[in-house]
Structure 1
């Protein structure tokens, strides 16, 4: 039996109820879901600190617009996601938001590198379920609005940072993925995740490294 501990943070209880109902209705037979909920930054932070010292969350859902913490230090779901990255390093972080401005999406991807990024206006219960199960085994999952913005902004320096450029360069030199850890100070899973995101950004549909390299050359990254 797969026990999945989940934190859902949104300031609208009816939205959380909808998420819960969807996940419970679509969970697999071998899964049990333990879901904690919070409606503001303080409550969410308290649950995360407790989980970090006990049984960590497997998946954390964060809305971006939330009531700030009493001390004013945590002002949004973005801040909560950064805390989760530090104290719950193995948790999958999923951002759900109404924001669909290109700049805000860029900023969230750069700062948090979420395992899932869903725009609420894109979201159906079917897509939420699909995203959840996809993220558990093979993150990342970005909804259509996010993917479209990223594809348009692929030439932006935000995305193809120094490490990603190095990955592209090494692949173009014929270095196999399994050997990249000899040149880059990252785990194999982190390298694989970066490669997957590069393929998303460059709209590589066949999944081949060769196609990725060709696209990177066309766009002037190699």
Structure 2
């Protein structure tokens, strides 16, 4: 028998119940699952720390949007995933989230490099069941939206660093160039320079921000 210890963290108990039911109903015959659940960062952090000292988790599922810990140390599922990677080096880390913007997907892959990355709107119970078994045997497993993003971005020859990505993301949210330095700690002239570079990179001939955003979208950077 293969005994698996699992941690599921989501602030909606009904969603966790759904995940649990799917995994229990579709597990392999030789698998027994013990599933712990948490609805906020505080509870989850305690469980991860405890597991690090005693019985480690084999798989941890993290929603990104979670109530922060009281001391402000953990503000999201991303913070918990990094803690789990540190204290439970052999655990498979799975991110489940509603966020499907390219900027968030890119950051999660770069910061966490999860064994599984599932966008909730892609998920059916069958896909969750398949993803779980796939992650155990040969990670990573990415759901459709993540896969499409990865294909588009990593086959593109354009290199856009984190600050440039953030500029694109903020412009797409309707933030004006003169206000960008409220979000990014660079001077207005440095930000202007980066915007010019982006327009060169994306071959924007008319100089318009709208054209830049359109090109960035088509190439999977937004």
Report what 2:40 is aligned to: 40
2:146 matches 1:122: no
Question: What's the secondary structure of 2:51's corresponding residue?
Answer: helix
1:106–1:158 Cα contact (<8 Å) kept: no
* 1: CA distance, partners of 2:135 / 2:104: 22
The change in CA–CA distance for 1:74 and 1:106 in structure 2 (over 3 A counts) is same
Report what 1:64 is aligned to: 64
Question: What's the secondary structure of 2:129's corresponding residue?
Answer: helix
1:11–1:40 Cα contact (<8 Å) kept: yes
The correspondence of residues 205-216 of structure 1 with structure 2, limited to 5 A, is none
String of CA shifts for 1:13-37, please: whole Å, max 9, x gaps.
0000000000000011111000000
2:77 matches 1:86: no
The correspondence of residues 4-153 of structure 1 with structure 2, limited to 5 A, is 4-153=4-153
Question: What's the secondary structure of 1:56's corresponding residue?
Answer: coil
String of CA shifts for 1:54-93, please: whole Å, max 9, x gaps.
0000000000000000001100000000001100000000
The change in CA–CA distance for 1:158 and 1:139 in structure 2 (over 3 A counts) is farther
Report what 1:165 is aligned to: none
Aligned residue pair count:
159
* 1: CA distance, partners of 2:91 / 2:65: 21
- In the superposition, the TM-score normalised over structure 1's length comes to 0.70
The change in CA–CA distance for 1:89 and 1:157 in structure 2 (over 3 A counts) is farther
Q: Tell me the CA shift for residue 152 of structure 1.
A: 1.1
Question: What's the secondary structure of 1:73's corresponding residue?
Answer: coil
Question: What's the secondary structure of 1:62's corresponding residue?
Answer: strand
String of CA shifts for 1:102-148, please: whole Å, max 9, x gaps.
01000000000000000000000000000000000100000000010
Question: What's the secondary structure of 1:89's corresponding residue?
Answer: coil
Q: Tell me the CA shift for residue 41 of structure 1.
A: 0.2
- The runs of 5 or more residues in structure 1 that have no matched partner are 160-222
Report what 2:188 is aligned to: none
The change in CA–CA distance for 1:21 and 1:7 in structure 2 (over 3 A counts) is same
Question: What's the secondary structure of 1:8's corresponding residue?
Answer: strand
* 1: CA distance, partners of 2:78 / 2:51: 19
Specify the structure having the higher radius of gyration (Cα).
Answer: 2
Q: Tell me the CA shift for residue 158 of structure 1.
A: 7.5
* 1: CA distance, partners of 2:81 / 2:18: 21
Report what 2:179 is aligned to: none
